[in-house]
Structure 1
Amino acid sequence: MSNHHQDKASFLERLIFNNRPAVILICLLVSIFLFYQASQIRPSTSFEKMIPLSHPFIQNMMEHRNDLANLGNTVRISVEAKDGDIFTKEYMETLRQINDEAFYIPGVDRSGLKSLWTPSVRWTEVTEEGFAGGEVIPQTYDGSAESMEELRSNVLKSGQVGRLVANNFKSSIVDVPLLESYPDPNDQGKLIKLDYQQFSHQLEEKIREKYQAQNPNVQIHIIGFAKKVGDLIDGLVMVVGFFAIALLITFVLLYWFSWCIRSTVGVLVTTLVAVGWQLGLMNLVGFGLDPYSMLVPFLIFAIGISHGVQKINGIALQSSGADNPLMAARRTFRQLFLPGMIAILADAVGFITLLIIDIGVIHELAIGASIGVAVIVFTNLILLPVAISYLGISKKAIERSKKDEVAEKPMWRLLSNVAHPNVAPFMVVLALVGGVSSFFYQKAYLQVGDLDQGAPELRPDSRYNQDNDFIIKNYSTSSDVLVVMVKTAPEGCSAFKTLSAMDELMWKMENTKGVQSAVSMVTVSRQMIKGMNEGNLKWETLSRNQDVLNNSIARADGLYNADCSVAPVLVFLEDHKAETLKRAVSSVQEFAKVNNQEDLDFRLAAGNAGIEAATNEVIASSELTILVLVYIWVAVMCMITFRSVPATICIVLPLILTSILGNALMAFLGIGMKVATLPVIALGVGIGVDYGIYIYSRLESFLRAGLPLQEAYYQTLKSTGKAVLFTGLCLAIGVATWIFSAIKFQADMGLMLTFMFVVNMFGALLLLPALARFLIKPEKLVGKTGGSLLSH
């Protein structure tokens, strides 16, 4: 390199390119270490990582978790008799074996396991001599016809029809509560964290496959958080296949773009190195892969390809006027390192803003993505130019670049018209109309939370959702339970004042749309008082006599805690759709506002519906904050870089428009704003800013050279615009493969990312120059060198 060019080189450039062998050796050693770490990363998630631990609902649940029996993380196994009903010797024997098999699966809270075969499931009746009762399956059970008749009678008297036993008597449930951590059988002082994937596999192998094969008349249905997460983790295997497809597509398109196999391989290898480093660092900080953080390697790959394409495009352009590959690589590094660094910083802080959502899986996603974009600085901004300085660009690619530089490009000439005084106003008005109409549409129709029954993360025809449909149709109590915790002084939960208030709450909830039924110790108390008065329906009410009330709740096991200071009200919902949860929570809050007293407190919420409601509230309160913070940071970075308010507006406005259009698309497609989809909107902004920064930095350099705006934009399109267009389409095609995923939320994310990549690209190509026509004054930039960090 000539002395002239050496003089212009920064310290960082000299440090890197004067020590190229050391740079490659260091990257090689780091790669060996981090790729080994990446090979150790495992699928990992937990119940607590999926919930907002600082939300008041969750804090109340965690405070009283030992007072609430089986209201947290549970799995329900429904054993169906295909022919006949459950009252056969063969069916009951299979149910007993399934009960025992589930009892011994590691991670099961054995004290809380419930089925017809557990002693805790009892029947009660009123006779002439008083109350009689016992276990539903008596000690004398032998499978005979007489035993079956006795069992049928006991089931009818147990109150479990619609709960543990189906309404049509063709199936029954084994209710399996889980422990988040459990003692190691080989070392009782050590706790093992529940492995959801392994637990799900054990349910399939030890329960479903084994007993359906053993008894062809039995069909087994399994639902619950652990089973759903296990199925999602199994779906990660498919994601690896999609990654391979995206890699192949990117390779073909990169070669078509560059006409150089060396630079194509260089970009792909350095980007894969970035993904490997990111996974290795995630393992080092103790993170695993959960269904939501699987998005991160794709994002890092996408961002890496985006910056890599800019680098090889720049090197190809510089190679025509450089003496050797080293000079071309150094000139490209000098020209693109700073805009690339600014774009990556904008990406990183965009990801970090996700930390304000107090949900563990989103924290890990945010940290993992931030680590990944930091890694890209070393792999795609430093290692790639160094590697290309050795490999060089093929003569074919250089010749093509030379021709492109001087040739007239009709497509780019046509596209540059968006900066024409007559076309620019039309583009701005079109964007304004689209943005305003989309804003009001998404305000009216976009909902926070799930919009479908079952597990919306999975396809409607998935095994899990089919099992869930079966249980909804055959049982009176759904799997969606909202638990209200009634807090009193010790021994206060049986007081008439408490029970009367609980009774009123149950009545209010049962008359709320979307609620199936409500159950509490009041339910048992009223039944027992009726029973103590010869079953007379007139007595099915609460007594004001405290001794009568105390006797009436004696059999309400699990519906109050040891010192009678906490009593749950179980509200069974038809589904966990966003509006159902909002309506139910609102009803409870209205009731609590009127009835809460110093010694009587109605607290929300436990149960899976309570957790969903808390999560929805966190998402709703965080969505706007996240986007505002992302835009503020992007604007700050643009201001620092270009030192121009108009330039900042030109880059940020297309990103805001894309976010609004993205929310409108979600509303139109019936996709709710939830844990799986919220990060996509925020992360899409981070990737989109790359396009704007690269385009504006080149546009500004041509304006400083004295070109009029439309001609300057034409030259920008010939140099950088081609890379932006290619990158947007390449990444969109790559993530579009997700749309075919068996996991619905990944399909939704693939659709949304495809949309964000394409619209951000067109926003930068079409709206940015149109805004520049109104906001940028080219005459003020001519000959000016000090106004921007990117000036040289």
Structure 2
Amino acid sequence: MKISLANRIEVGLFRHRLFVLVMFALASAFLLFQASQIKLDAAFTKNIPLNHSYMKTYLKHRANFGGANNILISVCDREGDIFNAEFFDALKGVHDKLFFIPGVDRIQVKSLFSPSTRFVEVVEDGFAGGPVIPADFQATPEGLAIVKGNVEKAGIVGGIVADDYSCAMVKAALMDINPTTGEKLDTLNIAKQLEEEVRQEFEKGNISVHIIGFAKMVGDVANGAKGVVLFFAIAIAITAVMVYIFCHSIRLTFLPILCSLIAVVWQMGMLSTLGFGLDPMSILVPFLVFAIGVSHGVQMINSVVKKVGSGSNTMAAAQASFRALLIPGGIALLSDTVGFLTLLSIDIGIIKELAITASLGVAMIILTNLVLLPVMVSYLHIKPSAKVGQLKEESPVWQMVASFATKGPATVIIAIAVVLYAIGFIKGQGLKIGELHAGAPALHESSRYNQDTFLITDRYAISVDYMSVIIETTPDACTYYDTMATINQFQWRMENVAGVQSAVSLASISKIVNAGYNEGNPKWRVIPRNQQTLVQSIARVPSSSGLLNSNCSVMPVILFLEDHKAETIDTVIAEVKAASQELGSEQVQFKLASGPVGVMAATNEAVAEAQLPMMLYVYGAVILLCLLSFRSIRATIVVILPLYVVSTLAQWLMTALDIGLTVSTLPVIALGVGIGVDYGIYILSTMSIRLKEGADVHDAYLSALKERGSAVLITGFTLAIGVSTWFFSDLKFQVDMGILLTFMFLVNMLAAVIVLPALAAFLWPNKKNNSNDKEKFVIAGKTGD
């Protein structure tokens, strides 16, 4: 039935070639226009698993305690301290500029100039205090001296003011929508405003401005992603050279590249039509689509030229090639698509968008490279003397490689593969979930963003990596000693956990205030047991402090971590859960988690939970497609096992190179499996025909090498060389993906050429003309070959 369907499609297409080309041209023109409308789209919520329990807690209490989508701007004096007129003019300007940027939550803008930044001091009559910067402040020596004294009294050194008085901080939180337009907040526009209206305007003379936060990070990633255009151009050039070396024809080089570019245009156009944007973290997907398209285009050109060399005219060769490659090529591309679609199982918006983007692109390749390309080639005049591939069919190299399908060499190959798998499996157990380096992992350590992060971390006592543990209890619970003592005990335990730099809560503040009511005597730095005294100690802590809500039924304990490395987060989360289990009750419940590190912890757990199901889905789908295609368990085994070995080795490589399993790297494994299966399917589709005819495995594999070997090799090397250019990217995550994809493209190709025939040598008896050993394969084109 499949062959009949393929024949019908073939007849319909090639009888109406001109109509087909016109329809493709019209569709390309429309989708090109749509692609021109696509925009980069980055949103904070796309990067977090919204259905994770931590994130439900985060979203529930975000209005009271702020979110993790914050902006921190450190204004610094390069030569001295902050107490000079030039610095305070710049700090006031940064505060006001940030305050009026649409999308900034004005209530949560905090700096020395915020009315909520106050000092309190113990005086003879009790307490006295006021704003750190008085309403009548003038930047005179006297006025600056007053402010300096107030800063020291306020206890904000290390928080809003740097430890060495060289910098002061302006903090703000971003909303999800732009209140001016009512539309989703344009994160990239915020990043642009921060750079142009804040840094460039106020960074002058002795003043330097350092900005960090999700929006700024994404903006820097988007700027770095513009370099992808250059890498794309380099990849096209490299691909063109490799394809020309393969086919020795400018026309035959141009057509697969053109069809692959059309696939990319269609992909972008379809995304725009469906209302999607292109996230900076997914900007690399169009290149992958182009590379996959070229790989299948090379197979088509290879088939056409060989059939012309066998005596067919170009039209007949194009038709036969279409018929021969429609099913194996379609199955391979369908495997790619299903591999990408398995990423939808991961509950993180950016990965789901990547899955949709990649799946659309591969679906377009089915049309452009399996349908459009042979129709276009049919109009060419290819001489029978045309050759493709660097190796001649009678090359001793193919004879040597074909020996891998005999039991002697196959035994050695399988033994080596087993040893490599065992080592890879053992070493791969050390693969960490999450980020393994300080700073923003998407950017290089030398980037301006990460340098700003390191400066802020070094000069302030608090870390930019913090997590809030939310304590949910009964209304007015902060007026009861037992509740506050439990919170205090929890905080003390957390402060003594490795990786926690410091912690703060309403309980710790109440102890400081209580001591203040008792002449500052350290002996009184305790939580008062008397309810009236306890109420007095917390009465001066407003809900705007972020330490309690309006009715004191929810109070966070804020943990400042040394860094956001996976090991640090795992240790702290484990200790929080242990302490919560011991100290929690129905009245006092400890809930994880809010803050930037809370988001990272949820993301790491979502990635860890998705890793095994994703791989099961990928391999399950590929196995099912192979079974449907070949109708043979043995054929499925020889295709899948090499893929599994390479996936295991890839995890070993990640461990060895200190690359964590993150939102950026997790999809690479699925991509590698989906694309890697192509090699095995193309080789086995030719082998299967010869095996059905009664040939032994060696002869069947030699025929496959002569028919497909050069195309498989050129495809593997072309893909690997193309992504290897990513090693020079400004984006760290692109470098990591480049390393992993280069490895998987190259090693999957080698595994298909070396390990696949070795497995086949043991699974198929080497007997000719034995009908009992024949497999029933359903591969389109086997009669036409």
Contact 2:712 2:749 (8 Å CA) reproduced? yes
The residue that corresponds to 2:37 in the other structure is: 40
Of stretches 637-646 and 486-495 in structure 1, the one that deviates more from structure 2 is: 486-495
Q: For 1:23 and 1:292, how far apart are their aligned partners in 2?
A: 36
Q: For 1:786 and 1:139, how far apart are their aligned partners in 2?
A: 89
Q: For 2:209 and 2:769, how far apart are their aligned partners in 1?
A: 73
Q: What is the DSSP-based 3-state SS (H/G/I as helix, E as strand, rest coil) of the residue aligned with 1:219?
A: strand
Q: Deviations over 1:695-721 (max 9, x none)?
A: 011111122233322222122111101
Of stretches 197-206 and 312-321 in structure 1, the one that deviates more from structure 2 is: 197-206
Residue 726 of structure 1 aligns with an amino acid whose one-letter code is: I
TM-score (norm 2): 0.96
Of stretches 175-184 and 359-368 in structure 1, the one that deviates more from structure 2 is: 175-184
CA shift, 1:43, in A, is 0.7
Alignment map for 1:358-373 (pairs within 5 Å): 358-373=347-362
Of stretches 9-18 and 678-687 in structure 1, the one that deviates more from structure 2 is: 9-18
Q: For 1:575 and 1:320, how far apart are their aligned partners in 2?
A: 63
Residue 46 of structure 1 aligns with an amino acid whose one-letter code is: A
The residue that corresponds to 1:432 in the other structure is: 418
Q: What is the DSSP-based 3-state SS (H/G/I as helix, E as strand, rest coil) of the residue aligned with 1:423?
A: helix
Structure 2: state its 5+ residue gaps: none
* Aligned residue among 482, 504, 511 for 1:526: 511
* Aligned residue among 545, 560, 575 for 1:587: 575
Of stretches 771-780 and 254-263 in structure 1, the one that deviates more from structure 2 is: 771-780
Q: For 2:5 and 2:265, how far apart are their aligned partners in 1?
A: 34
Contact 2:434 2:660 (8 Å CA) reproduced? yes
CA shift, 1:502, in A, is 1.0
Contact 2:688 2:777 (8 Å CA) reproduced? no
Q: For 1:778 and 1:624, how far apart are their aligned partners in 2?
A: 38
Residue 76 of structure 1 aligns with an amino acid whose one-letter code is: L
Q: Does 1:204 align with 2:195?
A: yes
Q: 1:451 to 1:8 in 2, by over 3 A?
A: closer
* Aligned residue among 491, 496, 506 for 1:506: 491
Q: What is the DSSP-based 3-state SS (H/G/I as helix, E as strand, rest coil) of the residue aligned with 2:591?
A: strand
Residues matched between the structures, number: 775
Q: For 2:274 and 2:768, how far apart are their aligned partners in 1?
A: 50
CA shift, 1:373, in A, is 1.2
Q: 1:28 to 1:399 in 2, by over 3 A?
A: closer
Contact 2:632 2:775 (8 Å CA) reproduced? no
Residue 90 of structure 2 aligns with an amino acid whose one-letter code is: T
Q: Does 1:400 align with 2:387?
A: yes
Q: For 1:561 and 1:74, how far apart are their aligned partners in 2?
A: 20
Q: 1:439 to 1:292 in 2, by over 3 A?
A: same
Q: Which segments of structure 1 move beyond 4 Å, counting only runs of 4 or more?
A: 6-9, 401-405, 780-786
Q: For 1:601 and 1:624, how far apart are their aligned partners in 2?
A: 31
Alignment map for 1:99-498 (pairs within 5 Å): 99-184=95-180, 190-213=181-204, 216-393=205-382, 395=383, 398-400=385-387, 407-443=393-429, 445-498=430-483
Q: For 1:781 and 1:192, how far apart are their aligned partners in 2?
A: 70
CA shift, 1:7, in A, is 9.2
CA shift, 1:328, in A, is 0.3
CA shift, 1:580, in A, is 0.4
Q: For 2:760 and 2:195, how far apart are their aligned partners in 1?
A: 60
* Aligned residue among 62, 75, 91 for 2:59: 62
Residue 14 of structure 1 aligns with an amino acid whose one-letter code is: V
* Aligned residue among 694, 714, 732 for 1:706: 694
Q: For 1:381 and 1:282, how far apart are their aligned partners in 2?
A: 21
Contact 1:316 1:398 (8 Å CA) reproduced? no
Q: For 1:305 and 1:763, how far apart are their aligned partners in 2?
A: 20
* Percent of residue pairs identical: 45
Residue 445 of structure 2 aligns with an amino acid whose one-letter code is: P
Q: Deviations over 1:429-449 (max 9, x none)?
A: 100000111110010x21000
Q: Deviations over 1:529-584 (max 9, x none)?
A: 00111111111000111222222112323211112111111000000000100111
Residue 592 of structure 1 aligns with an amino acid whose one-letter code is: S
Q: For 1:217 and 1:314, how far apart are their aligned partners in 2?
A: 67
Q: What is the DSSP-based 3-state SS (H/G/I as helix, E as strand, rest coil) of the residue aligned with 2:703?
A: helix
CA shift, 1:527, in A, is 0.9
CA shift, 1:402, in A, is 11
Q: What is the DSSP-based 3-state SS (H/G/I as helix, E as strand, rest coil) of the residue aligned with 2:558?
A: strand
CA shift, 1:493, in A, is 3.5
Alignment map for 1:615-654 (pairs within 5 Å): 615-654=603-642
CA shift, 1:403, in A, is 11
Residue 565 of structure 2 aligns with an amino acid whose one-letter code is: K
Structure 1: state its 5+ residue gaps: 1-5, 185-189
Q: For 1:143 and 1:560, how far apart are their aligned partners in 2?
A: 35
Q: Deviations over 1:99-133 (max 9, x none)?
A: 11111122211111000011110000110011101
Residue 212 of structure 1 aligns with an amino acid whose one-letter code is: E
Residue 419 of structure 2 aligns with an amino acid whose one-letter code is: V
CA shift, 1:457, in A, is 1.0
CA shift, 1:781, in A, is 7.8
Q: For 1:509 and 1:279, how far apart are their aligned partners in 2?
A: 48
Q: Does 1:656 align with 2:647?
A: no
TM-score (norm 1): 0.96
Q: 1:412 to 1:597 in 2, by over 3 A?
A: same
Q: Deviations over 1:748-776 (max 9, x none)?
A: 10111111100000000000000001112
CA shift, 1:195, in A, is 1.8
Q: For 1:781 and 1:562, how far apart are their aligned partners in 2?
A: 85
Q: For 1:727 and 1:231, how far apart are their aligned partners in 2?
A: 33
CA shift, 1:503, in A, is 0.6
Residue 345 of structure 1 aligns with an amino acid whose one-letter code is: L
Q: For 2:264 and 2:88, how far apart are their aligned partners in 1?
A: 53
